[in-house]
């Protein structure tokens, strides 16, 4: 079993995480400000108005697919901790309310466990169960994202060089290192059941086949979101889908690392720098539409759904038996 880190070590990691996030956000804001200096915002709005409604509907369908795969994160986490009694609808409710709200606020590590606990506690799950679910869903997120990141950088190292300023060859080596790391974890978990944590907080890890399934789900999640962005980019920009996917994944990871609400500023800067040429208006229009469909709309729906559940439970609790 792994030893529990000391309080000083945990505090140091938190401080370093905040510093890193702030540095990423500050660099992104500077880059975004520089990138948007000569943008004609009237052209941006006109591009949005000219966008085919069928393409917007397709993008919305892809966004729904992405969020649909997120519900499987919670479902498989429940199965890993042997809580097969919790139905899928509860897992889907916990997933869809926790992810958009937590990412929209920008405090995933604080908000997501609270929302999940409010949902799962009515089904008999305790704080330890919810902590395990949060850890396992995070594991699924990182396995899928790191795999997708490695594959995308391996395929489009030049696009990533515009963001990280590293030579394409070095980016390929980084991609290979990521994929080797994920493969090593997959082999390690495949040999026999694994667990980590402490005596007070034991965490059972998913089996090898389940890890492989988690990786596939993570790739589908990111792939659907990236395709939603791609279909919103106006025709004539001459941007290949492979480049969009690669830049989108890097932008997502940077946005997550920054801890900014919905990765605002960071995600946008990475997209515009990685995909943009001299003509920024069409790309900015696609980015704005994607923001509404993928971030704003789910955030509003999740808030309404979570608030409705809380009101319903409060009223039910007041009804005399």
Percent residues over pLDDT 90 in the chain:
34
Please return the burial class of 79, using the count of CB atoms within 10 Å of its CB with bins 0-12, 13-18 and 19+. Answer: middle
- Structural contact between residues 218 and 140, judged by C-beta atoms closer than 8 angstroms: yes
Q: What angle, 0 to 180 degrees and rounded to 10, lies between the N-to-C axes of helices 241-258 and 7-35?
A: 130
- Structural contact between residues 141 and 256, judged by C-beta atoms closer than 8 angstroms: no
Distance CA 97, CA 90 (A): 11
For 37-71, what is each residue's pLDDT tens digit? Answer: 666 668 878 888 999 999 999 999 999 999 999 99
Distance CA 203, CA 48 (A): 47
Confidence of residue 274 (pLDDT cuts 50, 70, 90): confident
Average pLDDT over residues 237-242: 82
Question: Containing H/E element for 204?
Answer: strand 202-204
Residue 31 has pLDDT above 60, yes or no: no
Query: What local confidence, expressed as pLDDT, does residue 3 receive?
Result: 45
* SS3 state at 166: coil
Residue 121 has pLDDT above 50, yes or no: yes
Distance CA 277, CA 20 (A): 28
Average pLDDT over residues 181-203: 81
* SS3 state at 195: strand
* SS3 state at 235: coil
For 134-171, what is each residue's pLDDT tens digit? Answer: 988 888 888 888 898 898 888 888 888 888 888 989 99
Q: Where are the domains of the chain?
A: 28-304
Residue 114 has pLDDT above 70, yes or no: yes
Query: What local confidence, expressed as pLDDT, does residue 283 receive?
Result: 86
What length does the chain have? 321
Q: Which of 33-47, 142-156, 168-182, 262-276 has the weakest average pLDDT?
A: 33-47
- Structural contact between residues 249 and 152, judged by C-beta atoms closer than 8 angstroms: yes
Query: What local confidence, expressed as pLDDT, does residue 94 receive?
Result: 94
Distance CA 294, CA 231 (A): 13
Query: What local confidence, expressed as pLDDT, does residue 141 receive?
Result: 85
- Structural contact between residues 191 and 33, judged by C-beta atoms closer than 8 angstroms: no
- 228 contacts: CB under 8 Å, gap ≥ 6: 59, 60, 62, 63, 66, 290, 293, 294
């Amino acid at each position: 079993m792994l030893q529990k880190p000391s309080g000083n070590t945990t505090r140091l990691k938190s401080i370093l995480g905040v510093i890193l996030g702030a540095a990423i956000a500050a660099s992104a804001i500077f880059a975004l400000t520089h990138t948007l200096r000569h943008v004609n915002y009237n052209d941006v709005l006109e591009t949005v108005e000219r966008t085919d409604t069928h393409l917007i509907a397709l993008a919305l369908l892809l966004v729904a697919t992405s969020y649909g795969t997120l519900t499987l994160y919670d479902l498989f986490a429940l199965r890993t901790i042997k809580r097969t009694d919790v139905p899928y609808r509860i897992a889907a409710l916990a997933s869809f309310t926790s992810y958009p709200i937590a990412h929209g606020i920008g405090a995933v590590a604080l908000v997501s466990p609270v929302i999940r606990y409010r949902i799962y506690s009515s089904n008999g799950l305790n704080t330890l169960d919810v902590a395990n679910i949060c850890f396992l869903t995070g594991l699924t997120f990182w396995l899928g994202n790191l795999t997708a990141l490695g594959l995308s950088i391996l395929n489009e190292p030049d696009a990533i060089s515009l963001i990280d300023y590293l030579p394409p060859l070095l980016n390929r080596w980084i991609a290979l290192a990521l994929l080797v790391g994920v493969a090593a974890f997959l082999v390690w978990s495949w040999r026999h059941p694994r667990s980590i944590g402490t005596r007070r907080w034991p965490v059972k890890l998913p089996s090898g086949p389940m890890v492989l399934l988690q990786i596939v789900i993570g790739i589908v999640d990111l792939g659907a979101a990236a395709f939603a962005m791609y279909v919103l980019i106006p025709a004539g920009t001459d941007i290949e889908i492979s480049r969009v996917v690669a830049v989108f994944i890097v932008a997502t990871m940077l946005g997550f690392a920054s801890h900014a609400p919905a990765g605002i500023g960071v995600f946008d800067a990475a997209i515009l720098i990685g995909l943009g040429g001299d003509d920024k208006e069409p790309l900015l229009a696609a980015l704005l539409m994607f923001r509404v469909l993928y971030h704003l709309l789910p955030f509003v729906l999740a808030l309404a759904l979570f608030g409705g559940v809380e009101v319903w439970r409060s009223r039910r609790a007041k009804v005399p038996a």
